[in-house]
Structures are given as C-alpha cells and as structure tokens.
Amino acid sequence: MRRIALTLEYDGTHFAGFQRQAKGERTVQGVLEAALAEIPGAHPRVVAAGRTDAGVHALAMVVHYDTEDAIPPEKIPAALNTRLPGDVRVLRARVAPPSFHARKSAHWRAYRYRILLRKTPSALLRHRVLWHPGPLELEAMRQGLSYLVGRHDFRAFATREKRDTERVLYLARLRLRGQEAWLEFVGSGFLRGQVRAMVGSLLEVGAGKKPPEWIAELLAGLPRAEGGPTAPPQGLYFLAAGYRPWPAVGEP
C-alpha cells in the first residue's frame, strides 16, 4: 500500500465546492474519486488540505489517497488527467510517508482574493475576479489588514461554524497587480467562510463605509452579524498548503 500526494489545479465555476455532497452535486472530490476508481488498485477516497466552497478556485490544492497500484508517480498526473474533466488538472504527484495527511499534516494554508479595479466589468474574467467599479482606499484597507495578523477569535468572520473560532493568521496583505488588487492571507487554518467574510469587511473599509479600526472591533468578539457582507466566491483562490512551519522558503 502506498500513500500518494497530489497537487491539483481547478476552476471552481461549475463545481458545488470541493467536498462530496449528499445530493450528488458535481464536486471536485467526486470527479477525482471517479477518475481514481478507473485505476486498478487505487482506493478512491481522497482527503484535501482544505475544502473550497462552490465557485472557488485552486492553484495548488494538496490531496492524498492510498493505492496498491505500481504506477510511477511521474506518470500519475497523465493517467488521471486523461480521465478528468477539463476544469480539474493534476499538476504533480509524489509518494508520501504513510503518516502524511493532506489536512492534518499542514502547518498553514494560503488564499488569494482578486479584485478587478476598473470602470467596466470584464467579459473574460467574470468567473475569476470580483469587479469593483469605484475607487478603493487602499491604505485604509492595508491598515485594516494589519489588525488581522496574529492569534485572534475570528467568530465575526465565521459562517455556521461549530468549531473553536480561534485561529492564527501569519500574513494578511494587499498587493497591486495591473488593474487588480490582490488580498492574500496565510493562516494556521481557516473557518467556514472566513476569507470571504474578511474580504467583504475590508471592502467596507476600502469604500469608506467603515474606519480601519472597525476590523479590530470585530476581532474583539463581535458576532458574525456585526461584520461586513460575504464577498462572492469567484475571486477566491486556494494558493497553497505548507508542510513546514511558517515562515517558509518559497512562500506564496
């Protein structure tokens, strides 16, 4: 028996999220496990480093599965990609130690949210970015981001979360790339809906509706209802999972 770790890229536009759904909706896990079921010896149950929502994309999602096949790891991507739909691709495969767990072994996870800053929406990027036609106060957003770094109770940014809401955010930054603003986050883990709720709140700050200090007030323990709206899914990307403590060489 071998444990295989895969790195996936996928377009979340036509998926109901990563995780398999009770009503049989199309999911990344579902199509990947269906492809693995066609390989003799593979045990088609995959575990992911994170669970993306419907419409959310991934540039490098790590998953693992177990198998009794003897396919060389360098040939696994091609073997699976011929069986996968075009909106999911296996980028890399490697043999992992038996103790490796895509979710439990991860020390950190990274996300990016893309915001298109121009007067007209994009026909080509409508499923890839959030379009924001008006100006944003970027320095105010950067100040708001600074409050998020560290260990906090993120309950004001959690949706239907039953777990403990304390998490550690190692990095929260804003970068400009052409006509886009990228909000990037690296943390020990993220609550359900946390990244999109943080983005929605930061957009309230950027639009001048709230001062940057409002982010600190939310972290003081206010409930989710006191936070900003949840940003739509199409601008969000799972960037990476790290299996060494942060900070890491080659950080996203």
> How is residue 149 annotated by DSSP?
S
Q: Are 97 and 80 a contacting pair, CB within 8 Å?
A: no
Q: Is 53 a catalytic residue?
A: yes
**DSSP 8-class letter at 230:** P
Residue 244 burial class via C-beta count within 10 angstroms: exposed 0-12, middle 13-18, buried 19 and up = exposed
How far apart (Å, rounded) are the C-alpha atoms in residues 53 and 59?
14
Give the active site residue among 53, 87, 153, 164.
53
Phi-psi region of 221 (alpha: psi -120 to 50; beta: other; left: phi over 0): left
| CA 14 to the chain's CA centroid | 16
CA of residue 11 relative to chain centroid, distance: 12
The residue with tokens 């991860």 is 106
Which residue's structure tokens are 């492809």? Answer: 35
Active site residues: 53
